Each structure stands twice: as structure tokens, then as C-alpha cells.
Structure 1
Amino acid sequence: MTEQEKSELYSRIQAVQERIDTAAEKVGRDPKDIILVAASKMNDAERVRTAIACGIRVCGENRVQELLDKYEQNAYAGADLQFIGTLQTNKVKYLIGKVSLIQSVGSVRLGEAIAREAEKRGIRQDILLEVNIGREAAKSGLLLEELDDAVSRLCEKKSLHIRGLMAIPPIADQTSKNLSYFTEMHQVFVDILTKKYDNVNMDYLSMGMTNDFETAIACGANMVRIGTAIFGARPYQIVSP
């Protein structure tokens, strides 16, 4: 990366952090309670290392192979590493021991696969349960009516620790359109918290990305996953004139 590119990356990170702080303060929340996860998909090891040097403390990867490649290049030194993308059960084994948190556990079957692999390695793996809050057929995640059963079954796995919920609402052309989804997710989060399951701590509500994270924070999110606003548009996001 050139010095100019490094400077621009630093400026974008600072701008995102300022937006997070402002969004939190606007609703009477402590900005320090909001965790910024830099979604580093399609950014090479050098850019990830630079982002960490510029203040990023948590990186989130969407693809297992990309994570492994950058992990071998020591891309995440100095930061926490989490997995935030769709995960197939046959790839679970590659993540256990490398990531602190798997955010995208959208089925009991996947949770059980993670539990088995973690038990083999003597690890207690932190996870978030992914909720398909928009009931979209093309997206993974638990439907709301499946959530209680999933929590009840997975909380029995001693090699798992359920730490909260994650959601990706439908794409909206206006940030305010996701307000209802974020509000509903927060209510679900609170409902599970009050049930006091064993082996369940509702520590994290992960929702909100570049286009809507301020709305998510206003609705109770304490973990936001931001890629484009930090790293710039990815190649597939750039539309030719």
C-alpha cells in the first residue's frame, strides 16, 4: 500500500468510529460499549495489517479459505478474529482454535458440528445464533419460531458458549426501513436474556453494516460489522457507467 492509501484507510476508520460514537451518544449509550468488527472480505493481508495498525481491534471474515490464507500470512496479529459468513459443517474444523467467535450459527446442525469439533480439541467455542429476521429464503439463519428450541438444544453442549444473536435484515434502499427488524431483534435478544438459560449469555447483539449501522445502534446493537465504509467498495460493488 502507498502512504496515500494508508492515510485514506486511517481516515475512513476514524470517520466510522466517530459515526459510531455519535450514534451511541444520541441515544444515551456509551460508545465504548459498541464493538466495531471490520469485515475484511476481499482485502489482502497487507490491508488488514494496516487497518489493525490504524486502530481496528476486531476483524471479521466471511470465507473460510480466505481467512486461512491470511491467517498463514499473520494478517490478524494484534486483533481479535471472528467468523461472520455462511459456514458449511465440513469446514468447521478449519476455524476451531483460530477464531474467538463464530457469529453465523444459523442451524442446530451447524451448532452441533461446532460443538463436536470443539470438544475434540478441548475448546469451548463462543458462538452467536444467526436469526433470519426477514424470513428470506435465500439467506441462512434460524426463523424466530425455531430460536427457542435451538437455544434449548445447543445450550446443553458444554463445548459451546452462546454469547448472543446476529442478524442481517433484508437490503433496504433507506436505512429507516430496517428499523422494524432491528427493533424486533432487540426484543428477541431481551426475551432470551430474561429466560436465564444455562450456558447462555446474551452479551452481544450483532447487527448493522455500512448502510444501516447507526440505526442498528439506536435499536440496541452492541456489535456492528462494517466493511465498505472502512475498506472502500469491493470489486463486485462497483458498477460500471
Structure 2
Amino acid sequence: MDIADQIKTIEDELSRLNVTLIAVSKTKSNEEILEAYHAGQRAFGENVVQELVRKQETLPKDIEWHLIGHLQSNKVKYVVPFVAMIHSADSLKLLKEIDKQAKKYNREVDCLLQIHVAAEETKFGLDHVELIELLRSEAFIQLTNVRIRGLMGIATNTPNTKEIKEEFHELKSLFDGIKASFFQDDEYFDTLSMGMSSDYKIAIEQGSTMVRLGSTIFGGR
């Protein structure tokens, strides 16, 4: 099945479930991205800033670019002018820099707070205590050009589906609790980004509203 057929099949599946598809295009050529684009896909995810900027400059301007990888504060200025959403906001320092750069372009940048739910210590993200402290901080409340749209998390890389299910369930429970406590009247806090090619069906069962699929669409590297 080619890229266009994969896009159509997956979009048909996800649209029935009201789940948004981010096509993870990291390491993929412009030609492969354009094949998905011409099949109707508009939201693409990249995890390396330099690659994201290069592709944004050369590909159609109605593409919605998502930064899904870890973002260093000193690289924020390169993506803020155009990025549709930053999935990996994992510190107050980073949010303050996004806010600072967004002011220069009179933009409000959509962000997801990345939560650490996996067993691996190498994965990035806030733990529950850090999340609450961030949301309660005066510095966070004073941000004017960052809009928190929800949470993002990456499950443990394991064949143990029970463990993955529990991690996604924990993240969904946290999302519901945070929405009720901090964003009750915020219509924009509506996104729970969890699930990749290996585990997106489990993520959807546990309440994901956005999945990030690479190999499912484009095949292996």
C-alpha cells in the first residue's frame, strides 16, 4: 500500500473516532511528504528544528507544522514564526522563551505540556508535581503569548501492552484532572496527544485525541 492509500485508510479510521492525525515526517523526503500532502494530509510532525525549518521553507505554505521533539530554548526563535503547535513544552524556562519570541511576531503559540509517564528515564517531560507547580506559578500565569492546548506523553517502548495501557490511562486521568482544576472554562484545552505507530490503537482506547504516526504512513526508515 502506498503513502496515499495509507493516509486515506488511517484518516477514515481516525475521523470516525474524532482523533487528529499528525504525520511524522522526520527523515522523510520532500517527495514523500508531498505524496501525503496530495492525499489530503496537512498536519506534519518534525523533531529536529533545522530539518523542520528547511522543509517549511520549501514545501507548500498551507502545511501545518508540529514540533514534536525535544526543544532547546536557544532554538525557539527559529520555529516560533510559523509553527502550528509545540508538543514538547517541558519546563517553565522553555515556555517563557516561547512567550518572549511569540511576542515579537504578535503570535499566540499553541503548546502541549509534555508529561513523563514512561519507565525510561531518558524520556523528557514533567512529572505530576512539577506540572502542578508550573501551572500554579506566577510566572506561568503571566504568559500572554502561549496557549496551552493540552498534554502530550510517550509510553514506554515495550511489548507489554498492559504497561502501555496503564501509562496512557494515567495520562488521561491527569488530563481530566488538570482540565477540571486549571482549565475548566478554557475551550482551547482540548488536546491529549498520545500514541505512535506502535501503540496508537491502545492510546485511542484510553482517550487520545491526537496521534503521531510515522512508519504506519511512510513505512520504515
State if a TM-score over 0.5 links the two structures: yes
- C-alpha contact (below 8 Å) 1:155/1:199 kept by paired residues: no
| Deviation, structure 1 residue 44 | 1.4
Q: 155, 158, 169: which is aligned to 2:144?
A: 158
| Residue type at the aligned position of 1:202 | F
Aligned residues: 218
**Aligned equivalent of 2:156:** 170
Normalised to the residue count of structure 1, the TM-score between the two structures is 0.84
Q: Evaluate the alpha carbon distance shift between residue 47 and residue 190 of structure 1 in structure 2; reply closer, same or farther with a 3 A threshold.
A: same
Q: Does residue 78 of structure 2 align to residue 108 of structure 1?
A: no
Q: How does 1:29-44 map to 2 (within 5 A)?
A: 30-31=16-17, 33-44=18-29
Tell me, yes or no, if structure 1 residue 83 matches structure 2 residue 70. Answer: no
CA offsets per residue over residues 19-56 of structure 1, 9 Å max, x none? 435xxxxxxxx52x210000100011221121111121
SS of equivalent to 1:109: helix
Structure 1 residues 186 and 63: alpha-carbon distance in aligned structure 2, compared to 1, 3 A threshold = same
Matches within 5 A, 1:8-157: 8-20=2-14, 30-31=16-17, 33-73=18-58, 75-134=59-118, 136-153=120-137, 154-157=140-143
The answer to whether the aligner puts 1:231 opposite 2:209 as a matched pair is no
Where in structure 2 are there 5+ consecutive unaligned residues?
none
- Name the stretch that deviates more: 77-86 or 33-42: 77-86
What SS does the corresponding residue of 2:190 show, helix, strand or coil?
A: strand
1:155 CA drift (Å): 3.9
- The Cα shift of 1:202 comes to 2.1
| Counterpart Cα distance in 1 of 2:141 and 2:172 | 20
TM-score, L = length of structure 2:
0.91
Q: CA-to-partner distance for each residue in 1:100-127, whole Å, 9 max, x for gaps?
A: 1101001111111111111222211110
Q: How far 1:70 sits from its partner (Å)?
A: 1.0
Distance in structure 2 (CA, Å) of the matches to 1:38 and 1:108 = 28
Alpha-carbon distance between aligned partners in 2 of 1:123 and 1:78, rounded to the nearest angstrom = 17
Structure 1 residue 18: deviation in Å? 4.4
State the alpha-carbon separation in 1 of the partners of residues 31 and 8 from structure 2.
19
In 2, Cα distance between equivalents of 1:107 and 1:212? 26
Cα 1:198/1:176, change in 2 over 3 Å: closer
Amino acid at match of 2:37: I
Tell me the equivalent position of 2:168.
182
Q: 162-171 or 190-199: which moved more?
A: 190-199
Secondary structure at 1:165's aligned position in 2?
A: strand
Alpha-carbon distance in 1 for matches of 2:147, 2:156: 28
Question: How far apart, in 1, do the equivalents of 2:3 and 2:192 lie?
Answer: 26
Candidates 182, 203, 214, aligned match of 2:201: 214
Cα pair distance change 1:50/1:178, threshold 3 Å: same
CA distance in 2, matches of 1:123, 1:13: 31
